[in-house]
Amino acid sequence: MEQATRYLIVGTGRCGSSLLAAILAKAGANFDMPVQTKWDRRSGEYEHPMLLEARRWLVWADKIARSPLPSRLRNFCQRRAAQKLDELLRRATFLKSPELVRMVHIVAKLGYQPKIILSYRQFEGYSVSRHLKSGWGFSRLVEQYINVNSTALLQLYIFGGCTIGYEELVNKEETVWAEALEQLTGIKASHLLESRESLVKAVTPQWEFPVPNPEVMKVYKLLVQLKGLVIEPVSSSTLNERL
């Protein structure tokens, strides 16, 4: 039996994923949430409450794993997370959350076919946005940017999908991202561009300053190299053997 496809928007947070979700939802993507007519760049919209609940169960599982408590309690929490995720996946075709990167393998184990939509941003803009919102220091910003984007790239090559840069979304001259999404999801590029036109009103300033970490720039270049491309997954037979 053919596996049901689910589209997972993954990224670091503060990377344009809320705007991307708003564009997709307005163009017809099913997030099992009300469609927003306006985009607030300060928000974290389209993060489903059931996904947040699944995340809380995983956090408890992690805490138990680092404690003297018996492993059966950790297993219980992991099962509850999977149950909540499965319940949501029966209702929504698209999911979005900064924490989703650590749930992709669970989606696959539940019998769905994940497709990765990797939402990313230049480190400069990401770091400024995250620091102003959460007060993170430089080392934590670097660790999050490298770890999440590198893991998401791994998932992209395993399950297939595409990358979408925030700078592409807010630049109305950029359109290849919409063509890639149409190829991946079936949602018309023209509908996606119309959604972008209605949601993005003001030009977002771009931050430029020296980044004293070469690994960050290496990761960013890997992401940019995939602009406009749809990555094919490994064969389903090979993947099923590994799960």
DSSP string, 137-163: -HHHHHHHHHHHHHHHHHHHHHH-EEE
Query: For 10, which DSSP code?
Result: E
Total number of domains constituting the chain: 2
Indicate the pTM of the whole model: 0.93
Q: Quick one: tokens of 185?
A: 């999801």
Element (H, E) at 130: helix 123-134
Residues β-bridged to residue 10: 118
Amino acid of residue 187: I
- The predicted pLDDT at position 242 comes to 59
Residues 121 and 202 grouped into a single domain: yes
Decide: residue 38, CB within 10 A, 0-12 exposed, 13-18 middle, 19+ buried.
Answer: exposed
Q: What is the mean pLDDT of each run of 10 residues along the chain (243 residues)?
A: 89 94 97 85 81 96 95 97 98 96 97 98 94 94 97 98 96 97 99 96 78 94 98 73 60
- The predicted pLDDT at position 16 comes to 93
Domain assignment of residue 225, given as a range: 5-48+95-242
Residues 59 and 165 grouped into a single domain: no
Domain boundary among 35, 62, 91: 91
- The predicted pLDDT at position 41 comes to 65
Domain boundary among 38, 64, 91: 91
- CA distance linking residue 119 with residue 113, whole number of Å: 19
- The predicted pLDDT at position 45 comes to 83
Amino acid of residue 144: Q
Place of tokens 């309690």: 73
Give the torsion through C-alpha atoms of 220, 221, 224, 226, to 10 deg: -110
Residues 35 and 79 grouped into a single domain: no
Residues 30 and 70 grouped into a single domain: no
Q: At how many degrees (to 10) do helices 123-134 and 214-224 cross?
A: 120
Greatest CA separation found in the chain?
56
SS3 breakdown of the chain: % helix, strand, coil, rounded to 5? 55, 10, 35
- The predicted pLDDT at position 212 comes to 86
Residues 192 and 149 grouped into a single domain: yes
Residues 80 and 27 grouped into a single domain: no
Residues 129 and 163 grouped into a single domain: yes
Residues 43 and 137 grouped into a single domain: yes
Residues 181 and 68 grouped into a single domain: no
Residues 83 and 117 grouped into a single domain: no
Residues 56 and 44 grouped into a single domain: no
Residues 112 and 195 grouped into a single domain: yes
